[in-house]
Structure 1
Amino acid sequence: MAASNPLPYVVAESARKRQVMNSSPLRYFLSAVMAGGLIAVVLIVSLLLGQALHLAGSPMYYAASAGFFGTALCTIIVSKTELFTSNVMYMAVGLLSRRVSWKELGKSWFLVYAGNFTGALLLALMYAQTGALSHLPANHLLFDVIGHKVHADSWAIFWKGALCNWIICLAVWVPLRLSNDMAKLAMTMLLVFVFFFSGYEHSIANMAFFSLSWFASAGVTPDWADTLHNLIPATLGNIAGGAIGVAALNFYLERDTLEEVGHSLSKQEAALAHS
């Protein structure tokens, strides 16, 4: 079903997420903590790779960072942990299909957002204990990226956030049409490359950027005002891109697949009743 009709699968997943959240909020929160940590640990490797090529004078340093970052979303999808940006899409579809209430949608977004932030912060703290953040040069790629994020216009950040999560949610949605696992992974990696290389704003990745900078000894260290200047419009943009650009639009375009699946299930139930 998932290989040809993404919408029924996403509806079923939203119902599963709702059930887990309501029966075990701590489990749901810890799943989000793990996803936030995964984002941070992959971002660290992306920065190390980009910085090494930057020091070598390669113009491909940012492309290398962008190309590797898709590993994070692939891992999160396979492990079925909770990432805020994709959770926006799942729960919006759940709301539209009446599997999720407005209250449950808000609860899910809050728990996952807080869990992602906690995971990113904890991973940055653990990484700092290795001493790796103690000797970063002031011109490190990490600080260059953060400088652009905290000095950007709020409206520009919002639209970069919307474009980001439109692409990120498509990186979850589009592979559901494919049956080959390698093709799914490749499609996800390529679409994540599009978002990262374009310089769009992913609120959870930004949490990881900021968390790493807070434990570094040099360079740009944003305060809470700078952090919120970025995270608030980036988060709102992520919600718009995922909930409207992917969830609502695809629900409208593909809602007939729900009717087909429902009709098919009814026929199966009727056949079993007469057997």
Structure 2
Amino acid sequence: MSHSSTLAYVVDEAACKQQVLRSEPGRYLLSAAMAGALIAAVLMVSLKLGQVFLAAGAPGYYIATAGFFGVALVSIIVCKVELFTSNVMYFTVGALSGRCRVCNLLRSWAMVYLGNLLGVLAFVAVLAGAGGMGALPQDHLLFNVVQHKVHAEALEIFWKGVLCNWVICLAVWVPMRMSSEAARLLIIMLLVFVFFFSGFEHSIANMAFFALAKLQGMEGLEWADILHNMIPATLGNIVGGAIGVGLVVFRLERHTLRAV
């Protein structure tokens, strides 16, 4: 993809998403559910992988967890299914260009968020039938991460959400500027590593963290704790994706829309 056509491509993609949203909402919801299920499945394996290193006393155990999680975003991009965090960027650019209506932007965000949640819950329900993650010790990596997420200050969670989706949307945007498939794959994996290893807050990944923790019977995890994290994380994701990437790249490259 040529440099001058990247913004035009994103605008066209946003317009296509809007068309599917309006004409086939069931398909749109199913696409979002698939993305949520992928996030939950890859997160489950990431945690199991990290726990192997943690149990062995390896200090770099979280490197394994963060390194593998990029598989989720790669799969979502390749399959072209709807993830809330990147959808925020697409529809922001679409709305700024005039190709998408603000009412459809809000409708899309709500539907994709719901679809992602349904996908996470569907995967976790099937995983429960398969025996879950097995019997986990109380110091398991899953429980340790969730404890940090629910005990952080709300404002801290918000800004970590901003940083997270700034990085995630760059992980979607930057590969569009590359011609090599191998380079695209590498930059996606590395940028996802940046957000995950840094402990930033991804609202959809957090849905999976909390659903898995509930499934595994984590002690003391209340619904109020979950909302304490999810609300500021989601708002932060919107700001990071819409303003940090969507608005910025539109302002930087809107001249290319007239050139294409």
TM-score (norm 1): 0.92
Equivalent residue number for residue 232 of structure 1: 231
Identity of aligned residues (%): 60
Larger radius of gyration: 1
Q: Does the 8 A contact of 1:4 with 1:177 survive in 2? A: no
Determine the C-alpha separation between the residues in 2 that align with 1:121 and 1:222.
17
- Structure 1 221/44 Cα, relative in aligned 2: closer, same or farther at 3 Å? farther
Which 4+ runs in 1 deviate beyond 6 A? none
Secondary structure in 1 matching 2:107: helix
Shift of the alpha carbon at 1:134? 4.5
Contact 1:4–1:176, Cα closer than 8 Å, also in 2: no
Aligned to 2:212: 212
What pairs up with 1:1-275 in 2 under 5 angstroms? 1=1, 5-217=5-217, 219-220=218-219, 222-261=221-260
Deviations 1:229-249 (A, max 9, x none): 000000000000000000000
AA paired with 2:132?
A
Which whole-Å CA distance do the structure 1 matches of 2:167 and 2:72 have between them?
15
CA distance in 2: counterparts of 1:177 and 1:110, whole angstroms: 29
- Give TM-score, length-normalised by structure 2: 0.98
Alpha-carbon shift at residue 35 of structure 1 (Å): 0.1
- Unaligned ranges ≥5, structure 2: none
- Amino acid in the other structure paired with 2:141: L
The one-letter amino acid paired with 2:42 is V
Q: 1:35 to 1:154 in 2, by over 3 A?
A: same
Across the aligned residues of Structure 1 and Structure 2, the Cα RMSD in angstroms comes to 1.1
Q: Which amino acid aligns with 1:223?
A: E
Q: Do 1:94 and 1:100's aligned partners in 2 also have CA atoms closer than 8 Å?
A: yes
Tell me the matched-pair count.
260
Unaligned stretches of 5+ residues in structure 1: 262-275
Alpha-carbon distance in structure 2 between the residues aligned to 1:162 and 1:2: 29
Deviation of residue 220 (structure 1)? 4.0
Please state how far the C-alpha of 1:33 moved relative to its aligned partner.
0.2
> What amino acid is aligned across from residue 212 of structure 2 in structure 1?
L
- 1:167 is paired with a residue of what secondary structure? helix
With over 3 angstroms needed to count, the CA separation of the structure-2 counterparts of 1:221 and 1:28, relative to structure 1, is farther
Q: CA deviation at 1:222?
A: 2.3
Deviations 1:180-202 (A, max 9, x none): 11100100000000000000000
